[in-house]
Amino acid sequence: MSAQAADVSVRIRGIYTTALTELLRDEHRIVSASPPIRERFDASFPVAVDDVAIRTTDDRLGLCVTGHPDAVTVIADRLEEIGRDTFVWDAPAPRGAVFEGEVSETLGSGAVVDLGSVREASVSGFLPYDRVDGYVDEGDRYRVQIASPAPPWRDRRPSLATDLRVSSGLVELRYGERDSMSETARMADILPVDPPDGWSPRWSRSADDASLDAMADALRQVTARAETLMAAIAESDDDDLGRIVAPRAERWVLFGRESRFVLDEYRRQVETTMAGHHRIKAATEAASAAVDFVEALCEPGDEFPFGVVTEQFGPQLGDGLEIAHGKPSGRTITLGRGEVTAIDPDGSVTIEREMSGGGTYDALGIERVAGDIATTTFVEGRWWYATVYKSADGEHRGTYVNICTPVEIFPNEARYVDLHVDVVKTPGGEVKRVDDDELDDAVAAGDVSEPLAARAREVAASIQSAL
């Protein structure tokens, strides 16, 4: 398949499915659609093997795009165009990849396994003890497969397994297991494709609606991948840590607030969609039924109902709110947790944190003293937020304005991706713009697009002028 191929077959699942189906269906082939999607589009999507599977991540913040490398490139490039604050990263440990690993640490329920490095980045995974025969100790070597990959913005490792599986949307091959005697497994006996020796098929529910040709195509695809996997394992050197084979490519897609609202527009072309549909559902799973109820009951308004959403799902006065500081390279760190001291229904939330002593405040050059109070105000959708530092007796110790993608205020955290360039104001009143070089480096590395960088510089210039 060429990277320029237009007709990519795509299977989509999760809260962004309707919007993505509308986005992709004119240029690509949507397959194995769920019953609600078939009903919404009043269309008969074929039950067929997919070139790419798109899954909403467990935290609902973005997508995992898995499949044939060329097809993944085509689809991921299209998704990246959705909005300026859509970020896409390659997955060094994609689903189904096989590694030679070594146990580096044992924990209560499993072991941390060093998987070597991929593209000069260290990779590790988590191997539950119930997936291993016998006792596990540091230094033990295992050939492991990525069972559940982990997005780069979450502080967790991919889950590992020692058994081998190769799956698609219709069928999964498992190595070393006896054949299932389900109806679809018996039907596989008449297909013109035989799984490799030692591998047995497990057919998904979708296969019940598939034609024999589609089942044969699916079995043919996973058989080829199983053969590739086994050949690579046979040729690998057990002495070397690292990735042995990755039969499928994988990319992570993180949506920001602006992109979620673009996806609302695509969904609105198909179904009644309230303002902030994807923003609200991404924030908390508890809101999903409420959003569906509003859209089924009446024609929603054009404005995002920030006050109602926060009143129902949080944050509320006195709650703790974390600052989820995303990096353009993919990682997210927590800058701290503060108490909510003010909420404005128009879209702002203020938190206060008492600082510990030691070190200095970034770019301000001011000593951080125990008891200092940091007051941070977030405004939903704004491309920046300000933190004012004061001493325990109220003396102004500096102001730091962080330039970022549009802020989203979720029940437990304020989220954004940092865009490096910032503006500070010292206690003496000097205003400085800092870290432009870091933004330039991020653009050169491909972590920040030129349009996004231009927006960051524009916002920084405006803040600098205002201060």
Q: Is the pLDDT score of 185 beyond 70?
A: no
- 3 pLDDT band (50/70/90 cuts)? very low
Q: Is the pLDDT score of 372 beyond 90?
A: yes
Domains of the chain: 9-91+252-257 (no CATH), 98-246 (no CATH), 314-466 (2.40.380.10)
207 or 322: which carries more pLDDT confidence? 322
337 or 1: which carries more pLDDT confidence? 337
Both structure tokens of 434: 């800092």
Both structure tokens of 239: 């002495």
The Cα-based distances of 125 to 92, 94, 143 in angstroms read 11, 12, 12
Q: Where are the alpha helices (DSSP H) in 298-343?
A: 306-313
Is 354 in a helix, a strand, or coil?
Answer: strand
Q: What are 51-94's pLDDT values in tens digits?
A: 999 999 999 999 999 999 999 999 999 999 999 999 999 999 99
Q: Is the pLDDT score of 232 beyond 60?
A: yes
pLDDT for 11 equals 97
Q: State the Cα–Cα distance between residues 137 and 422, nearest whole angstrom.
A: 46
| pTM (two decimals) | 0.94
Q: Which of 1-15, 69-83, 294-308 has the highest mean pLDDT?
A: 69-83
pLDDT for 179 equals 56
pLDDT for 83 equals 96
Residue 239 DSSP label: T
- What mean pLDDT comes out for the span 429-457? 96
Min mean pLDDT across 31-35, 60-64, 116-120, 419-423 is at 116-120
CB contact at 8 A, 136 and 106: yes
- 203 pLDDT band (50/70/90 cuts)? confident
Q: Strands, E, within 223-354: which ranges?
A: 242-245, 249-254, 320-326, 332-344, 348-354
- 172 pLDDT band (50/70/90 cuts)? very high
**What's the number of CA atoms in the CB half-sphere (13 Å) around residue 347?**
12
298 or 246: which carries more pLDDT confidence? 246
Percent of the chain with pLDDT over 90: 81
Percent of the chain with pLDDT over 70: 96
Both structure tokens of 401: 């304005």
